[in-house]
Amino acid sequence: MPDSRAAREADLITYYDNEAADRSTSPLADGRAEHRDAFIDLLAREHRSTVVEVGTGPGRDSLAFHQAGLAVQGVDLAPASVTLCRAQGLSVQVGTALELPFASGEFEAAYTASTLLHIADEDLDTALAELVRVVRPDSPIAIGLWGAPTSREQHWGDPSYGPPRFFALRSDSDLRLRLAAHGAVELFEAWPPESSGLHYQWAILRTRHTS
């Protein structure tokens, strides 16, 4: 029987609570910091000052937003990660991507990296709709994920941190299709090429104008 959402989230909390301190000093995936910084530049060009990060981890990206002069709010499933973020002066709270604890239209942009890959396919539209809900119309949302040539769900992780984590890996075409249901896919990049196997996917989703 497939894992329930509650079971998936409980395993993720255990794993990331145990890994949080080590993760805070580990390098980001190749290319991710560069794409994050390009997103910061986009926000500056568009004169945006507020951003929400969904899935902060220990705060490496939120800190970069803060240091760039942005007012950043964050949410993460793992209490240990939230504690590390707050120790750096960041405004982060415990929560799930499926029920964001923010008002509709509260932010001018959103960012999530290596987080929605822990969301099952059956819940992905809910997570994307939540990202769209908490930003204003015509706002950019940066989304980074690990993907695979063929969409699949699986579990893996370092057993020293706890139970294997749930992953939903999506092909580039499948992910683009799911994103397009929630806005305009303004940018989509992947590295290394999808044909090489596991790869990182990066998209900028632009929310729709109001009518």
Tens digits of per-residue pLDDT, 70-95? 999 999 999 999 999 999 999 999 99
CB-count exposure of residue 113 (10 Å: 0-12, 13-18, 19+): buried
Coil, strand or helix: which one is 129? helix
pLDDT in tens, 137-165: 999 999 999 999 999 999 999 999 999 99
Of residues 208, 20, 12, the one with CA closest to residue 128: 208
Cα 5 vs. chain centroid, distance in angstroms? 17
- Domains contained in the chain, CATH given: 5-206 (3.40.50.150)
pTM assigned to the model? 0.96
Q: What angle, rounded to 10 degrees, do the helices at 172-180 and 121-134 form?
A: 50
Q: How many CB atoms neighbour CB 31 within 10 A?
A: 15
Q: CB neighbours of 118 closer than 8 A, spacing ≥ 6?
A: 8, 12, 165, 166, 167, 168
Of residues 83, 155, 152, 78, the one with CA closest to residue 121: 152
Name the average pLDDT for the chain.
96
